[in-house]
Structure 1
Amino acid sequence: MRTITVLGATGSIGQNTIDVICRHPDKFRVFAITGHTNLNALVQLALQCSPRYIVLSDPQAYTAFAKILKKENCHSEILVGAQALDDVCCAPEVDTVMSAIVGAAGLLPTLAAVRTGKRVLLANKESLVMSGELFMNAVREHKAELVPIDSEHNAIFQCLPHDFEYGNLEKSGITKILLTGSGGPFRTLADESFDSITPDQACDHPTWTMGRKISVDSATMMNKGLEFIEAKWLFGLHEDDIEVVLHPQSTIHSMVQYVDGSIIAQLGNPDMRTSIAYGLSFPDRITSGVEAVDFSSLTDFSFSKPDQNRYPNLYLAIEACKQGQAATTAINAANEVAVDAFLKGQIKFTDIAKVNQHVLQKTDFIELTCIVQVLEHDAEARILAQQIVRKLN
């Protein structure tokens, strides 16, 4: 029986995690769930999985949430604030933490789980984008178990040989990691229409169901850029070891190419419960609620190279990856500010890349040797991005 804390329970990853857990009450129990502003969804999840604790990141939400909880006759204990997030990750009863808080806010509680040697199911890509080397050093130092949950990285994880040594592609006969992406909803949209893209259009992904921030990142392909950076740190890769491939059908989630010409791919329907179930049960497999691919129904299986003019954010992220940790921390911060401004109608869709590029150009690429420096650098990049947004508004 594994005991689990779910960080970011009300997001799509969190809700799918609860779904898989509830299918296997003999294998998993929930210690704590956490949320931010979606209080009604948090209550419904609590009624579904009966956690011992519910953590609110915003202390001001406590009174309203307590009333809702009492009305629903839910007896979970409410905790509030950043320290409570860390506490439910580090609790001795917990052996597994699902890290599904979106954005930089997920870094510190995820690190807390790592430093107490938990199995960390990593869906928060920003943890590695912001602090890659520091994060992986902590994983090794504290003997934590890191299982990637993003469908692409989980696919790579499944396609690697069981004795893969971190960073040693040559020993395993690997020549390339092929990172697939759908290309988002605007893959074939005329270039001249990009200025008029609305937030609702950007959030209408053709194959995946995701939150609004991640949906916009998918539309700009910044999501794939962040995954490029994450893959580098997860598997100890050089930038030249990774190739991004457009695959609109989202059936192949990623591939590993070997020296003999073989390519091993992980396929499945576009449903995050597959990788969540694998992470929860690794190295075993359990039912996830996802139907297997019906190959007789596949009518199109296409691949192409992403166009730099159409997806400038992808290539900005790859360039940041080549420049180092300070650059990836900065572009992640800039992108969070820019996407938030776009979703609020303050800037155009095409302005997201302008904000990211400007911050990347103005960032001091200093060596970040501790998490405090990472957070300070992140804050400075956000201030710069906010200044650019105000000029564009």
Structure 2
Amino acid sequence: MRTLTILGSTGSIGTQALEVVAAHPDSFAVVALAAGGSDLHLLAEQVLQHAPAQVALATGSAADFATALAARASSLGRPVPEVDVRTGAEAAAEVAGNGADVVLNGITGSVGLGPTLAALAAGSTLALANKESLIAGGALVRAAQQRPDQIVPVDSEHSAIAQALRGGRREEVRRLVLTASGGPFRGRTRAELADVTPAQALAHPNFDMGLVVTTNSATMVNKGLEVIEAHLLFDVPLAAIEVVVHPQQQIHSMVEFRDGSTLAQIGPPRMLVPIALGLSWPDRLDGVDVPTDWSITQSWQFHPLDGEAFPAVALARSAAEAGGTHPAVYNAANEECVAAFHTGRIGFPAIVDTVARVVAEHRGPAHLDLAAVTRAESWARGRVHELIR
């Protein structure tokens, strides 16, 4: 039985991870949960079901959570369990470093970097859904790894690549092919994107991933982040990582080998299998999801990425090539631009346009450490606000 710490337990990744745990009670024991604090009732429900010893809250108080836990326990006629509750900005990192066998980082945003480093330092296997911490931390995260397989990707695309790489040696790989749904605006020109609304940007055809990630899918920033993530995870040159639009999202990504063969990982457009593999890697669990039904007629399409309408992927490549804190600036500036878009301060195309300007202006430090990353992100966020004013 593996012990688990789940960061972002009340979000999309965290709730699905706990579904996997509940379906395999003999395989996992939850020892800690971390959440932002916006849904204390759901967190209380999770604590009563999975009995973790620790809980971390980024916002809110331990007293408020105790009240929510007591109320939920009373409604079920159950005693109130004893829980060690940590609060504040560092709470998630504190429980991430508790030495659990597996730490699932499902936090959204670069605030996940501290918990990522804490989990690696503690020797835990890191099931990484928080791509932003790898983007922002880059070399810091790679240097913190104590063994090659300590980081297991949970993004469906990178999980697919990790699975396909089992079919050949690394030196046999020609390139990686990341698939993208194309988001809600696939096929639109840049001019046709000028007046799209936040509601339209959140209408993803296949997934409900929260405000930031869903918007990133619409701008293709998410795919840009995934290109950088694939480069760092699999040590493949940026030039050997391609993006192709596949609206049906049945093929989650592919590995092309030197002899001309391609291995693709196929499955429904859901996250249960990547999450389960993140928890159980390198083993597979039984009955996690329903496989593709090959008895029905299906049509799968593939389209080239329109780099003019969606320049975010090319911009991510240039940020990665610049290295240092440039990827952190790309990510931090985007987070601020997404917030500005959803509050009506900028239009949709201005998200990536503003990120591009901030990345171009950035001058990275000579020495890369956590403080340098923090300073670069702070500068990027401030510069975005200056530009949109």
TM range (shorter): over 0.9
CA contact (8 A) 2:117 2:141 kept: yes
Residues 368 and 211 of structure 1: is their aligned pair in 2 closer, same or farther, counting only changes over 3 Å?
Answer: farther
Distance 1:135 1:264 in 2: 28
Which range moved further: 20-29 or 81-90? 81-90
Partner residue in 1 for 2:87: 80
Displacement after TM superposition at 1:55 (Å): 1.0
The CA deviation string for residues 25-82 of structure 1, in whole angstroms up to 9 with x for no partner, is 1110111111112223222322332222221012x44333221111112425222124
Residues 143 and 323 of structure 1: is their aligned pair in 2 closer, same or farther, counting only changes over 3 Å?
Answer: closer
Distance 2:292 2:46 in 1: 29
For the residue of structure 2 that corresponds to 1:296, the secondary structure is coil
Count of aligned pairs between the two proteins: 381
Distance 1:205 1:290 in 2: 21
CA contact (8 A) 1:257 1:264 kept: yes
Which range moved further: 154-163 or 299-308? 154-163
Structure 1: any 5+ residue segments left out of the alignment? none
Displacement after TM superposition at 1:118 (Å): 0.5
For the residue of structure 1 that corresponds to 2:183, the secondary structure is coil
Distance 2:221 2:203 in 1: 16
Partner residue in 1 for 2:182: 183
Structure 2: any 5+ residue segments left out of the alignment? 74-79
CA contact (8 A) 1:221 1:313 kept: yes
Distance 1:175 1:357 in 2: 30
Displacement after TM superposition at 1:336 (Å): 0.6
Partner residue in 2 for 1:67: 67
Distance 2:353 2:224 in 1: 16
Distance 2:82 2:249 in 1: 38
Displacement after TM superposition at 1:368 (Å): 4.2
Displacement after TM superposition at 1:195 (Å): 2.1
Partner residue in 2 for 1:123: 129
Partner residue in 2 for 1:135: 141
Displacement after TM superposition at 1:210 (Å): 1.1
Residues 222 and 384 of structure 1: is their aligned pair in 2 closer, same or farther, counting only changes over 3 Å?
Answer: same
The CA deviation string for residues 319-374 of structure 1, in whole angstroms up to 9 with x for no partner, is 21121132111111100100111122222111101210110111113344211111
Distance 2:345 2:63 in 1: 32
Distance 2:163 2:358 in 1: 36
Which range moved further: 339-348 or 218-227? 339-348
Residues 288 and 327 of structure 1: is their aligned pair in 2 closer, same or farther, counting only changes over 3 Å?
Answer: farther
CA contact (8 A) 2:167 2:263 kept: no
Distance 2:9 2:226 in 1: 21
Partner residue in 2 for 1:224: 223
Scaled by the length of structure 1, the TM-score of the pair is 0.92
Displacement after TM superposition at 1:162 (Å): 6.7
Residues 76 and 201 of structure 1: is their aligned pair in 2 closer, same or farther, counting only changes over 3 Å?
Answer: farther
Matches of residues 156-305 of structure 1 in structure 2 within 5 Å? 156-161=161-166, 164=169, 169=170, 171=171, 173-189=172-188, 191-287=190-286, 289-305=288-304
Partner residue in 1 for 2:120: 114
Distance 1:163 1:193 in 2: 43
Could you tell me the percent identity over the aligned residues?
A: 39
- The structure 1 segments of at least 4 consecutive aligned residues displaced by more than 6 Å after TM superposition are none
For the residue of structure 2 that corresponds to 1:68, the secondary structure is helix
Residues 143 and 243 of structure 1: is their aligned pair in 2 closer, same or farther, counting only changes over 3 Å?
Answer: closer
Partner residue in 2 for 1:54: 55
Partner residue in 1 for 2:42: 41
Distance 2:87 2:374 in 1: 22
For the residue of structure 1 that corresponds to 2:253, the secondary structure is strand
Q: Once superposed, what is the RMSD of the aligned Cα atoms?
A: 1.7
For the residue of structure 1 that corresponds to 2:304, the secondary structure is coil
Matches of residues 140-159 of structure 1 in structure 2 within 5 Å? 140=146, 145-159=150-164
Is 1:90 the counterpart of 2:97? The answer is yes
Displacement after TM superposition at 1:288 (Å): 5.2
Distance 1:223 1:76 in 2: 39
Partner residue in 2 for 1:14: 14
Partner residue in 2 for 1:350: 349
Partner residue in 2 for 1:314: 313
- One-letter code of the match for 2:121? R
- One-letter code of the match for 1:71? A
